[in-house]
């Protein structure tokens, strides 16, 4: 039967939510995709999770070492810790070389992610992107290293780069899991787990990028966001572990004394936490003003919530004050170790490979012989550098009149980056083409220019030819990009009047009736960082002598570029005097990037061979290719028509200073209310509120992160009810979140921050006067503010009741209070940061009447004893305990039985009681039954009763019959319904769990007794004594009422009770 009891206790003991320490070490590696480390940052944290409503107190966590860190002490500490929201972590303070109250430590270890990322564009052969669609094959390689290989690895691709579309769509992974993390139809995450590290890990997958869907098609492309690794290694990076854990929680402790007739004293401790479990390792009883314990004992007792522990009764002197001391601590769950290797892989922006090809054909002479000047340009308009360029300039050798032979002469090659620089290149000439190859590195916007002359005999007929050029550029990674252009050129017969014409416009030299027009001679564009330098120029052709009048120019700026108006310059070449003149100009904006350029003092008048160049600077806003146009126009008096010529130039910007998307021209307007304290209730974290209003003055939506610094001792925070992650930086804490603000929208965020609570550290109740009719009580409590903030209007709610309260005060005066539903509500105006505040209550109670009855006073060994303890209070009372102790024999004064019953509410003059029937196998002697009514562990009234056992001495064995059979019933019931088992145990727990925990030693002795006496003479029976008859209750009530009347009469006459 005893075994059944023990097994039953093991089955139904509840699992309490013990606190848990977390040692976190984060190592952030900034590295290139080829695994070469740029730099690293490290942060270590000691955190605590309290998975209940309890507030953990006086926390000390010792680390095993401080080697390779900036720690100066192994101890992490904090006055309190709490988890207002499930899973909230409290940062502990650390003593580092930077601060004695640091929230993190740094460490120095050598670490590598062993990660190498490679890829190839199957559509172009290198790393870059080309216009249209791109299919990239990725290879991830993690070199084998048992210690350093991540067990779990993920690569996250950028989201929402083009609207809601992600930067790519992943597919065809050779292993791992591909995920669409934001459910937008694009797979953006690939992850692997269970990487062993004993052999190289290689995986392949495909990335699809389509222009206009995943990428804008004109700029560099952000593809990979970051790579993240985690380890299965149970050790931290530094191999530091938690070596010791200590904390405490809410308790009640003190001493109680009885006179029976000798004076006896004992200490007690009660666990008043919701779910914390304590371990008591030692107790001591002291005489006040004596540092040597009167008695002490080393024990190993676990105290669950609502359970208490009493020391032995010790002989005492009623003229001496006594105190108790317990060595105890909270029980912790096993420590969690987190090692996070965050790899910020500098995966480069994928560059765009692009180029532009220009062809210019000019007629030098067309008389007996004809000569053409051919200019071919290849400009790098991509965002990457190229290291190889081939220009194939094709020569037409056939027209509708038959074959023609051209002679190539004076081939020159130039490199242009704002300056024209001759370079050496490979040149091959053929009858139908000129091929030039150069390994000159072209940076974005640089050009290779090929110029040569063609000559042949003049023809008597006009002839039309197609001049074309093919270009090929190659990047350092092997991407090849080709582009070509062609121009249709009509050459008049030698008998016709030769006229000029634009090779730079539509490339057609058309036959005109007069030799009047513009011919392109300059088309230069260069860029430095995000500034472009454009020069466009024309020469006037006119054989009439009337010239071209009213000459003006239009500038066209596309792709969201901005003109620097002060930089616009005009240079006019007067061929009659062979002189260049810089003219002042007037600039008039026409809107939408169009500007009219006019000469300040009258329009330009250009005669034959005069030149006009327009030069200006532009701000390249946004990445990608920018297009610029310069149109020259004027009036021809000889024809009576407007003539014009437009020159188109291109530049690429690789430094993003904005984009073609809406530009943030005005910052968001942020208004904060500041932190306002919410309700402050003793024992609960304090809420602070900050209303943050954001206004977007722009005409487009803006999405951006918001970061707010909060209290450095904050426990948790939420934004609009959503739990946010706290960011620790040395001795400060911040909270960050991301949100979108629509155009002209006001948006308010409610930021809630929780800070450490005020806790009750000391609580005691004592008598100031005591007589048979009234008790004057003095209750003292100490409240400690463990936070770094002052708290106002503190609410202290004490679960207690008093018949009459004279005064509630503190060290700075009387405090306001009120009573409500057996709770005393006390308001404290202010408790400063890191200070304590005593609260004192002076009150009156009327002592209750305690009665102890038994069925016999003299017993023989193995007799049953029926005991009933009852009490009647004179006023309503709350949170009281009726306690029963059986002590003896009197020469040893050992507690042989103890039981307690708690009452949440007791109505005045209602009888409360509990009954026990015990089988006593005790040594002969005199025994004491002590019944007492307690509140706040202060005995308001007690009664004693003596009985005697005579006969032969036998082993002590006490069996609690009712709980025993009730447990047996519950065990049988458990086989049918687990929930009913739990419910029944809770019923049992109210009356019996304290007895079971306090009688473990007696159970062991009982087990030994059964081994000696396998056949007890009789089984223990349990009988419940009926309640006293109503007639007796009414009689007792009548007596108490008479007593109260007498007290009231004395008080009315001004007497002293």
CA dist 1005 → 5, 101, 490, 595, 652 (Å): 14, 53, 123, 106, 93
Residue 566 has pLDDT above 60, yes or no: yes
- Cis peptide leading into residue 261 (ω within 30°): yes
Residue 789 has pLDDT above 90, yes or no: yes
Q: pLDDT, tens digit, for every residue of 463-472?
A: 888 899 999 9
Mean pLDDT of 894-898: 85
pLDDT, position 424: 93
Strand partners, 343: 29, 227
**Lowest-pLDDT range, 243-257, 304-318, 649-663?**
649-663
Residue 760 has pLDDT above 80, yes or no: yes
Nearest to 54 by CA among 312, 299, 271: 271
Domains of the chain plus CATH, in order, are 19-111+240-248 (no CATH), 115-226 (2.60.40), 252-272+279-300+313-329 (no CATH), 352-505 (2.60.40.1530), 512-653 (2.60.40.740), 669-755 (2.60.40), 758-845 (2.60.40.290)
Mean pLDDT of 2-11: 29
**Number of neighbouring beta carbons within 10 Å of residue 619:** 16
pLDDT, position 328: 95
pLDDT, position 758: 94
What does the H/E/C string look like for 638-699?
CCCEEEEEEEEEEEEECCCCCCCCCCCCCCCEEEECCCEECCEECCCCEEEEEEEEEECCCC
Residue 1007 has pLDDT above 90, yes or no: no
* Averaged confidence pLDDT in the chain: 81
DSSP string of 772-791, one letter each residue: SS-EEEEEEEEEEE-SSS-E
Residue 1036 DSSP label = H
Q: Which residue has the higher pLDDT, 341 or 290?
A: 290
Residue 726 has pLDDT above 90, yes or no: no
Nearest to 44 by CA among 447, 361, 337: 337
pTM: 0.62
Answer whether 507's CB lies under 8 Å from 526's CB: no
Choose from 327-331, 818-822, 854-858 the range with maximum mean pLDDT.
327-331
The conformational region for residue 993 under phi > 0 = left, psi -120 to 50 = alpha, else beta, is alpha
Burial label, 792 (beta-carbon count in 10 A; 0-12, 13-18, 19+): exposed
**Lowest-pLDDT range, 137-141, 190-194, 394-398, 1011-1015?**
1011-1015
Burial label, 312 (beta-carbon count in 10 A; 0-12, 13-18, 19+): middle
In 143-223 the beta strands, taken as DSSP E runs, fall at 152-157, 169-171, 177-179, 189-193, 201-210
Residue 845 has pLDDT above 80, yes or no: yes
Answer whether 803's CB lies under 8 Å from 875's CB: yes
Q: pLDDT, tens digit, for every residue of 289-299?
A: 888 999 999 99
Residue 213 DSSP label = T
Nearest to 655 by CA among 837, 530, 518, 525: 530
Q: pLDDT, tens digit, for every residue of 993-1006?
A: 333 343 444 444 44
């Amino acid at each position: 039967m005893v075994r059944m009891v023990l097994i039953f206790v093991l089955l139904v003991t509840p699992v309490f939510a013990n606190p848990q320490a977390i040692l976190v070490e984060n190592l952030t590696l900034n590295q290139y995709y080829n695994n070469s480390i740029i730099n690293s940052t490290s942060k270590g944290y000691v955190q605590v999770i309290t998975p209940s409503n309890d507030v953990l107190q006086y926390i000390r966590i010792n680390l095993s070492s401080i080697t390779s860190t900036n720690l100066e002490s192994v101890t992490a500490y904090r006055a309190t810790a709490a988890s207002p929201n499930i899973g909230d972590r409290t940062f502990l303070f650390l003593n580092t070389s930077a601060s004695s109250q640091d929230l993190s430590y740094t460490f120095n270890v050598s670490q590598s992610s062993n990660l190498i990322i490679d890829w190839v564009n199957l559509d172009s052969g290198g790393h870059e992107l080309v216009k249209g669609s791109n299919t990239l094959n990725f290879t991830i390689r993690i070199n084998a290293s048992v210690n350093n290989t991540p067990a779990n690895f993920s690569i996250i691709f950028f989201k929402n780069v083009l609207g809601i579309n992600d930067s790519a769509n992943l597919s065809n992974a050779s292993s791992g899991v591909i995920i669409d993390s934001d459910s937008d139809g694009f797979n953006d995450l690939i992850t692997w787990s269970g990487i062993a590290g004993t052999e190289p890990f290689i995986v392949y997958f495909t990335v699809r990028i389509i222009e206009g869907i995943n990428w804008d098609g004109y700029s560099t492309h952000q593809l990979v966001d970051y790579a993240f690794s985690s380890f299965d290694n149970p050790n931290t990076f530094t191999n530091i572990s938690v070596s010791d854990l200590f904390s405490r929680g809410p308790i009640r402790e003190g001493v109680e004394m009885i006179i029976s007739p000798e004076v006896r004293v004992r200490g007690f401790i009660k666990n008043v936490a919701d779910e914390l479990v304590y371990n008591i390792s030692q107790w001591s009883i002291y005489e006040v003003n004596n540092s040597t314990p009167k008695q002490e004992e080393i024990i190993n007792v676990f105290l669950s919530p609502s359970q208490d522990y009493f020391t032995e009764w010790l002989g005492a002197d009623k003229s001496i004050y006594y105190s108790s001391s317990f060595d105890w601590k909270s029980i912790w769950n096993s420590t969690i170790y987190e090692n996070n290797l965050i790899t910020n892989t500098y995966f480069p922006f994928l560059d765009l490979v692009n180029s532009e090809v220009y062809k210019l054909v000019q007629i030098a002479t067309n008389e007996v012989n004809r000569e053409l000047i051919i200019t071919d340009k290849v400009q790098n308009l991509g965002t990457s550098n190229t290291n190889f360029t081939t220009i194939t300039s094709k020569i037409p050798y056939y027209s509708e009149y038959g074959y023609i032979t051209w002679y190539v002469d004076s081939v020159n090659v130039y490199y242009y980056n704002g300056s024209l620089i001759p370079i050496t290149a490979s040149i091959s000439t053929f009858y139908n083409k000129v091929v030039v190859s150069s390994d000159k590195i072209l940076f974005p916007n640089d050009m290779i220019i090929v110029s040569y002359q063609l000559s042949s005999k003049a023809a008597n007929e006009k002839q039309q030819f197609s001049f074309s050029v093919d270009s090929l550029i190659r990047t350092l990674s092997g991407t090849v990009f080709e582009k070509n252009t062609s121009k249709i050129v009509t050459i008049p017969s030698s008998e016709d009047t030769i006229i000029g014409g634009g090779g730079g416009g539509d490339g057609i030299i058309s036959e005109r009736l007069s030799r009047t027009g513009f011919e392109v001679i300059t088309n230069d564009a260069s860029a430095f960082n995000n500034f472009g330098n454009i020069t466009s120029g024309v020469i006037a052709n006119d054989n009439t002598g009337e010239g071209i009048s009213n000459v003006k120019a239009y500038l066209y700026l596309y792709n969201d570029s901005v003109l620097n108006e002060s930089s616009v310059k005009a240079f006019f070449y007067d061929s009659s005097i062979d002189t260049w003149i810089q003219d002042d100009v007037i600039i008039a904006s026409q809107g939408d990037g169009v500007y009219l350029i006019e000469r300040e003092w009258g329009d330009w008048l250009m005669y034959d061979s005069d030149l006009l160049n327009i030069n200006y600077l532009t701000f390249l806003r946004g990445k990608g290719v920018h297009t610029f146009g310069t149109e020259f126009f004027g009036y021809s008096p000889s024809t009576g028509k407007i003539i014009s010529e437009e020159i188109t130039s291109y530049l690429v910007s690789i430094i993003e200073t904005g984009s073609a998307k809406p530009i943030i021209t005005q910052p968001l307007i942020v208004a904060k209310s500041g932190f306002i304290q919410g309700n402050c209730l003793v024992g609960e974290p304090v809420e602070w509120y900050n209303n943050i209003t954001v206004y977007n003055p722009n005409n487009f939506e803006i999405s951006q992160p918001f970061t707010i610094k909060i209290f450095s001792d904050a426990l948790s925070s939420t934004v609009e009810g959503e739990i946010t992650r706290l960011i620790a930086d040395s001795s400060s804490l911040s909270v960050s979140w991301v949100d979108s603000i629509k155009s002209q929208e006001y948006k308010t965020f409610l930021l809630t921050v929780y800070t450490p609570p005020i806790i009750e550290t000391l609580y005691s109740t004592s008598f100031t006067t005591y007589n048979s009719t009234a008790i004057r009580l003095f209750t003292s409590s100490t409240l400690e503010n463990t936070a770094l903030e002052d708290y106002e209007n503190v609410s202290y709610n004490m679960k207690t009741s008093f018949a009459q309260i004279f005064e509630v005060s503190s060290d700075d005066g009387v405090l306001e209070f009120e009573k409500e539903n057996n709770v005393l509500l006390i308001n404290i105006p202010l408790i400063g940061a890191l200070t304590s505040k005593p609260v004192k209550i002076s009150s009156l109670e009327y002592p209750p009447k305690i009665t102890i009855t038994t069925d016999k006073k003299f017993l023989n060994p193995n007799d049953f004893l029926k005991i009933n303890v009852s009490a009647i209070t004179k006023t309503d009372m709350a949170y009281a305990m009726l306690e029963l102790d059986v002590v003896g024999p009197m020469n040893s004064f050992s507690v042989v039985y103890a039981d307690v019953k708690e009452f949440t509410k007791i109505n005045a003059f209602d009888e409360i009681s509990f009954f026990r029937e015990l089988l006593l196998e005790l040594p002969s002697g005199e025994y004491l039954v002590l019944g007492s009514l307690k509140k706040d562990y202060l005995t308001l009234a007690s009664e004693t009763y003596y009985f005697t056992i005579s006969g032969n001495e036998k082993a002590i064995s006490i069996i609690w019959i009712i709980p025993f059979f009730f447990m047996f019933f519950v065990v049988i019931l458990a086989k049918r319904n687990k929930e009913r088992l739990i419910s029944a145990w809770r019923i049992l727990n109210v009356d019996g769990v304290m007895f079971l925990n306090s009688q473990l030693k007696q159970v062991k002795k009982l087990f030994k007794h059964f081994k000696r006496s396998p056949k007890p003479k009789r089984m223990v029976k349990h009988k419940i004594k009926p309640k006293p008859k109503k007639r007796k209750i009414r009689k007792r009530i009548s007596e108490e009422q008479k007593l109260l009347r007498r007290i009231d009469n004395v008080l009315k006459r001004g007497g002293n009770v």
